[in-house]
């Protein structure tokens, strides 16, 4: 039988890009064209493409990028619906690339795009990842949006180095280039929680990566506002948790259970208020307190555990209703199992724990599928 052998052709020879620059965007319309022109200037004759990964920005960022893409094949755009998060946007852009090298860069011109050719050269000479670092000689972080962000960047980096055993000066950097084959290999292990893709990548590598650094002078934002709110701290904490305890139990389940346990305190406080202070009869007060605890669990899970899929507006209400329904069934399962275990002669403590565990697993499994389902 005739066998056709496909010899790999260097991308540059057939016109494909050598570097895909992935730019996550959220309401960056005013910067799109400037980013493209800055890249065109910086990349010169090096074959490149930019992949904007836009989380359905309200200001028409994706439309702007696609409009330019119609007459410029350096430009691509992925539009995501019902998704949020810089890290997962970056990862999806990398996965959409076929170039040998992929870079992550912000879409607000805070990163110095003129470093890209040098990053490319360093990868060509054997490094796996080249990080634009604000914390080595010649670098600077003065363009960070606030002192709070600067503190997070510095301490977050130290924590990441400690807990995740990363060895580099700026694990929190959002500007780096790496070999795509290295990324492809470790992509299934990524957490893609929050906004720090680099820390995630470095912590997910199962063998040491050849890391090189290059000084970055982080510039001030040109147009628009920073999108990263105080929630970035929660996100970073989730990433650290996922990369540490996440190996034993899924981080969302750990959080869900902790929040569920804290619901007991909310329940008791509400019961004390309703029964002792407001003078409501015990049965009604208990039912109301359970509703208050369930509602607070729902809201905290929505803000923390499922931050990346959080529900707003009308969907917050339908989400709450499904959560009530799931918890009601979880409650019945909890009591039923505990009772069965207890009547089979097991001591009350173990029976109680067994019931609570079954209830928690049920509530978690069902609410992750129904209340906070991944594809919306």
Ligand X SMILES: Nc1nc2c(ncn2[C@@H]2O[C@H](COP(=O)(O)OP(=O)(O)O)[C@@H](O)[C@H]2O)c(=O)[nH]1
Binding-site ranges for ligand X (CB under 6 A): 24-26, 28, 53-55, 84-86, 89, 106-108, 110, 145, 226-228
Q: Which does 302 bind (CB under 5 to 8 A by kind): Mg ion, ligand X, none?
A: none
- Residue closer to ligand X, measured from CB, 6 or 58: 58
Which of helix, strand or coil describes residue 133? strand
- Residue closer to ligand X, measured from CB, 89 or 115: 89
β-bridge pairing 129-133 and 211-215? parallel
Burial classification of residue 376, based on how many CB atoms lie within 10 Å of its CB (0-12 exposed, 13-18 middle, 19 or more buried): exposed
Cβ-based neighbour number of residue 190 at 10 Å: 21
Q: Is residue 257 within the footprint of Mg ion (CB under 5 A)? A: no
Per-residue CA distances from 288 to 94, 278, 324 (Å)? 49, 12, 13
- Residue closer to ligand X, measured from CB, 187 or 360: 187
Q: Rounded to the nearest whole angstrom, what is the least distance from the CB of residue 253 to Mg ion in the complex?
A: 33
Q: Rounded to the nearest whole angstrom, what is the least distance from the CB of residue 328 to Mg ion in the complex?
A: 44
Q: Rounded to the nearest whole angstrom, what is the least distance from the CB of residue 196 to ligand X in the complex?
A: 10
Q: Rounded to the nearest whole angstrom, what is the least distance from the CB of residue 315 to ligand X in the complex?
A: 18
Residue 370 Cα to chain centre, angstroms: 21
- Residue closer to ligand X, measured from CB, 74 or 84: 84
144-149-151 Cα angle (round to 5): 110
- The tokens describing 226, both together, are 């920073």
Q: Is residue 28 within the footprint of Mg ion (CB under 5 A)? A: no
Q: Rounded to the nearest whole angstrom, what is the least distance from the CB of residue 86 to Mg ion in the complex?
A: 10
Site for Mg ion in 194-253 (CB under 5 A): none
Residue whose entry in the numeric block shows the structure tokens 């852009």: 93
- Residue closer to ligand X, measured from CB, 347 or 375: 375
CB-based burial, 164-178: b 16+ in 10 Å, e otherwise = bebebbbbbbbbbbb
Q: Is residue 108 within the footprint of Mg ion (CB under 5 A)? A: yes
Residue 144 Cα to chain centre, angstroms: 20
- Residue closer to ligand X, measured from CB, 192 or 301: 192
Q: Rounded to the nearest whole angstrom, what is the least distance from the CB of residue 224 to Mg ion in the complex?
A: 9
Q: Which residues bind Mg ion (CB under 5 A)?
A: 106, 108, 110
């Amino acid at each position: 039988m005739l066998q056709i052998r496909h010899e790999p052709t260097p991308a540059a020879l057939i016109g494909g890009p050598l570097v895909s620059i992935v730019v996550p965007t959220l309401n960056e319309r005013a910067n799109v064209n400037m980013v493209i022109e800055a890249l065109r200037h910086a990349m010169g004759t090096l074959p490149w493409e930019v992949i904007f990964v836009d989380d359905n920005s309200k200001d028409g960022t994706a439309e702007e990028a696609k409009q330019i893409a119609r007459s410029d094949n350096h430009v691509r755009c992925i539009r995501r619906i019902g998704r949020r998060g810089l890290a997962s946007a970056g990862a999806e852009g990398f996965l959409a690339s076929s170039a040998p090298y992929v870079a992550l860069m912000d879409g607000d011109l805070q990163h110095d795009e003129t470093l890209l050719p040098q990053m490319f050269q360093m990868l060509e000479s054997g490094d796996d990842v080249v990080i634009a670092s604000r914390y080595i000689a010649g670098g600077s972080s003065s363009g960070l949006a606030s002192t709070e962000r600067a503190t997070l960047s510095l301490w977050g980096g130290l924590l990441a180095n400690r807990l995740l055993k990363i060895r580099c000066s700026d694990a929190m950097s959002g500007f780096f280039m790496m070999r795509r084959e290295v990324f492809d290999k470790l992509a299934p292990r990524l957490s893609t929680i929050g906004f720090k893709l680099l820390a995630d990548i470095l912590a997910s590598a199962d063998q040491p990566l050849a890391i090189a650094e290059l000084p970055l002078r982080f510039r001030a934002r040109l147009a628009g506002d920073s999108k990263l709110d105080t929630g970035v701290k929660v996100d970073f904490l989730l990433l650290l948790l996922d990369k540490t305890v996440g190996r034993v139990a899924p981080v969302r389940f750990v959080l869900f259970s902790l929040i569920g346990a804290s619901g007991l305190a909310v329940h008791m406080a509400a019961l004390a208020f309703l029964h002792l202070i407001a003078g409501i009869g015990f049965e009604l007060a208990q039912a109301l307190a359970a509703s208050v605890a369930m509602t607070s669990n729902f809201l905290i899970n929505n803000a923390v555990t499922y931050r990346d899929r959080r529900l707003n507006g009308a969907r917050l209400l339908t989400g709450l209703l499904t959560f009530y329904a799931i918890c009601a069934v979880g409650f019945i399962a909890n009591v039923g199992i505990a009772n069965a275990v207890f009547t089979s002669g097991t001591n009350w403590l173990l029976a109680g724990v067994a019931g609570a565990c079954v209830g928690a697993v049920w509530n978690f499994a069902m609410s992750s599928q129904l209340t906070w389902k991944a594809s919306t």
